[in-house]
Structure 1
Amino acid sequence: MNDKKDFATSDLTGGTLNALVKNIMRQLGVDDPIEAVRLVNSGECVVSRPACRFRERDGVIYFTVTSDGTTGEEWIARLEKNNFQVGNYAKSLLRSADFKPTGGVTTEIAVLKGMLFNDSDRITKKIRAAADSRQLTKPNVE
């Protein structure tokens, strides 16, 4: 490091630093910014560049998610806290007896892009048929 730039963050704004620390806190799952910085500086947590989080093939986007034990009610609260509008149908699914939270289960998700369907064919029955023809399994409620 040259002498003029001994202070690595001298060109960063307070807002940029705040966003960085908030991002680290979110990724580490901690609420205390001092603890988040301590975890990184001590080497207990390592910052690494993730591999591509998704792949796309033939109009289907694939990615994985890992469950964290969040209940349906907790999902509703989490989503609404982050300004997502959770509709009545989604709430009924999250509150249903079929919703059984798991922890540490990794699932591959396949999203069929809208471009695969004409506007009039973009209905659940036809989307499920397309998924079945690709041998994709129906996801559980979680």
Structure 2
Amino acid sequence: MAFPGNERPSLCFREENLVNWLPMRDSSSSFAGSSRREQKFWQEHHNQGSSNQEVQKQMRQINSGKRRCKPKNTIIHSQKDTIKDICTDPSSKNVPCKNGWDNCFEGAKPHPVTICEEKANSQPGKCRYNCTKKEAVKVTVACENGRPVHLERTRDEL
């Protein structure tokens, strides 16, 4: 039985499909030892603050310098360690990734999230979003070396 995320190096998406990525302005030493994919995961999908102002600021940073606005993004408002646990907690469920890889895990515990979807009148440099907060959402992530590198999907708790 494979322990979550570590038996073989794997990618949940191909290198050639990666979009150009600019680091956030406030990158910190908390990323020391992290892969580029893990850093991107944290910068795009994590923010303990959940105010509309904080979420909109994060969306501006995600889109900074890009030629198009990101159509949809989910931000998880849990502590980093709680999110990391999805990759290593035995109660997390190993589920197939959308691309067929086997390194995706659905966490057992729900997380508060904000889901942002691009507005119709949005344009690069002025990306605009409708953002919706949800309090109890199951999160599935792709893991490499026991760390999250891609937000695969979310599922509302029933």
Higher strand share: 2
Higher helix share: 1
Who wins on radius of gyration, i.e. which is larger? 1
TM range (shorter): under 0.3
TM-score (norm 2): 0.26
Per chain length, whose mean CA-contact separation is higher, i.e. which structure has more relative contact order (CA < 8 Å, sep 6+)?
2
